[in-house]
Amino acid sequence: MDEQRGAGRRSSGSLERSVLEVLAGASVPLTVPEVRDALSADLAYTTVQTTLVRLHAKGVLARERHGRSFAYRPVETPEAAQVGTAARRMRKILDSGADRRGVLARFVADLSHEDEVLLANLLAATEPEEDRR
């Protein structure tokens, strides 16, 4: 699929990461032209606008009126956004109809001992009170 993109084009995930980095480094919300100018790539206004609108629709960005357009800012820190993205990907895989048990079993089998302990502690902490007795 990337071969069809051409030599100078990047994946939408790569552009989203770049946009998020620009916004995370800004002290104020940025408009589409401001984000476009901050990116080192030669991108069309509509490409940057579409990326910002998609990130807003995903709940990653908040937007506020800025004249006749919008200015965007991250809803969370970049680290929290990355955690949320990873969790959504995992949920999407689990909800895809694949072998849920197999996916989870493989995931757990590939965990380090430290991550196994962390996962067990997280699961124990989310159990309802009556189930812990």
Provide the residue ranges of all domains of the chain, joining segments of one domain with +.
2-74, 101-133
Q: pLDDT tier at 133 (50, 70, 90 boundaries)? A: low
The predicted-structure confidence for 94-105, as pLDDT tens digits, reads as follows 888 778 899 889
pTM of the model: 0.58
R_g (Cα) of the chain, nearest Å? 20
Give me the CATH code for the 2-74 domain, please. 1.10.10.10
Residues contacting 9, CB < 8 A, separation 6+: none
Q: pLDDT tier at 90 (50, 70, 90 boundaries)? A: confident
**Alpha helices by DSSP H, the chain:** 2-5, 12-24, 32-38, 45-57, 78-95, 100-109, 113-126
> Is residue 1 predicted with pLDDT exceeding 50?
no
